[in-house]
Amino acid sequence: MRKYNIGLLRGDGIGPEIVDSAVRVLQAVGEKYDIQFTFTPYLIGGAAIDACGKPLPEETVKGCLGSDSVLLGAVGGPKWDTLPGNLRPEKALLGIREAMGLFTNLRPAKLYPALKDECPLRADIVANGFDIMIVRELTGGIYFGQRGYRQGKYGEEAFDTESYSRMEIERIARVAFESARKRRKKVISIDKANVLETSRLWRKTVHEIAEEYPDVEVSDMLVDNAAMQLVRNPSQFDVVVTSNMFGDILSDEASQITGSIGMLPSASLGDTSRGLYEPIHGSAPDIAGQNKANPIATILSAAMMLLYSFNETQAAESIVAAVDTVLNEGYRTADLARGGAALSTTEMTDKIIQRL
């Protein structure tokens, strides 16, 4: 029997509900494939602020670094919105990504044939479906640059800085090219090279790395155009590689054209097999505790963990197939139901477990 220790960061809002769903799915798949998971919860975000006054306690960092992999729900909520920036729940998310060295964020966005009608794009635009792998740089750029307040031309001003080193661009570019090799062999690098110096270094470096991958086609796209192309012709994208902030924004847009932000999983990876897996959506405080949230993004994140951290391909595939089946059978949570019959979080989880 294979054994894995998984750190659980339930977090805030709907975080605990969706993480518990994914845990139940992992337990079920473990029974089927003879894998034993041990789950250890750690505090993060608002829950940690309430319990011990800080969003990312040291025990959490230590616990995550000692786990084989980590599953996270979501952090944040109105209760903590007025705290200063470095005490906000979101800061914990950035902190744990940095502490674990997770410079890569994989955010796959694909159109499930069963969800064609939930996609807000015109039928002819998505006639061929789409299957995009967004490779987002996760520990650099403006999220981690110098910031602060100062006196400027008009009095008090705030500033954040975007900076990227060649090394940071090289390593994320390699991830994108490697990933493209396993897919349709096409990388689109997204930047704002007509304005930003960081983007010009980004573009130049991506093309240098591209020379190591002559079998992969590479091209550039400006981020404003990319935002437009995503809704104009999403099937043109295979692998997208971009900076931390552009990736944050474009992945929300990509999720919406899959039908719901409740569908998109993500994997954050570094140099080891230990990753952090989380849905791309937030803590949805408006529906927290109501058993209404769509657990699929977190369940698919757990499947990504099986694949990327543990190399448990069969178990991962069986989760993905079960989600497919349940969607094909017409089951929907409220975010996808457009006012029609909707399953609760636990009912959707039960359905997926039944189809494993």
Distance between CA atoms of residues 312 and 30, nearest Å: 10
CB 190 within 8 A of CB 225: no
- Does position 137 bind ligand IPM by CB under 6 A? no
Nearer to ligand IPM, 106 or 353 (CB): 106
Q: Is 131 a catalytic residue?
A: no
Four-point Cα dihedral 85, 89, 93, 99, nearest 10 = 70
Decide if 12 is catalytic: no
Q: How far is the CB of 134 from ligand IPM (least distance, A)?
A: 11
Q: Which is nearer to ligand IPM, 189 or 301 (CB)?
A: 301
Beta carbons of 347 and 295 less than 8 angstroms apart = no
Minimum CB distance to ligand IPM smaller for 68 or for 90: 90
Question: Are 308 and 32 in contact, with CB atoms under 8 Å apart?
Answer: no
263 binds ligand IPM (CB under 6 A): no
With respect to ligand IPM, which residue has the nearer C-beta, 78 or 129?
78
Pick out residues in 272-291 that bind ligand IPM (CB under 6 A).
280, 282
Question: What sections of 182-222 are H helices per DSSP?
Answer: 197-210
Q: Which of 143, 213, 277, 308 is catalytic?
A: 143
Q: Establish if 70 lies at the interface with ligand IPM (CB under 6 A).
A: no
- Alpha carbons 331 and 329: distance in angstroms, whole number: 6
Please, what is the minimum distance in Å from the beta carbon of residue 252 to Mg ion? 6
Q: Nearest-CB residue to ligand IPM? A: 90
Chain centroid, CA 59 distance in Å: 24
* Residue selected from 93, 109, 169, 257 as contacting ligand IPM according to rule CB under 6 A: 93
Q: Report H helices in 236-344.
A: 244-257, 296-308, 313-328, 334-337
Closest approach of Cβ 327 to ligand IPM, in Å? 23
Asked if 90 touches ligand IPM (CB under 6 A), the answer is: yes
CB 134 within 8 A of CB 109: yes
DSSP bridge partners of 130: none
Q: Does 14 bind ligand IPM (CB under 6 A)?
A: no
Nearer to Mg ion, 104 or 205 (CB): 104
Structural contact between residues 179 and 106, judged by C-beta atoms closer than 8 angstroms: yes
In whole angstroms, the minimum distance from the beta carbon of 208 to ligand IPM comes to 27
Q: Residue 143 catalytic? A: yes
Smaller CB distance to Mg ion: residue 245 or 356? 245
- In this structure, the number of other CB atoms found within 10 A of the CB of residue 136 comes to 28
What values do phi and psi take at 10, rounded to 5? Answer: -70, -40
Tokens 């060649």 belong to which residue? 166
Give the contact letters, 228-267, x = binds to Mg ion (CB under 5 A), - = no.
--------------------x-------------------
Q: Number of H helices and number of E strands within the chain?
A: 12, 12
Binding site for Mg ion (CB under 5 A): 248
Catalytic residues: 143, 192, 224, 248, 252
Binding site for ligand IPM (CB under 6 A): 90, 93, 248, 280, 282
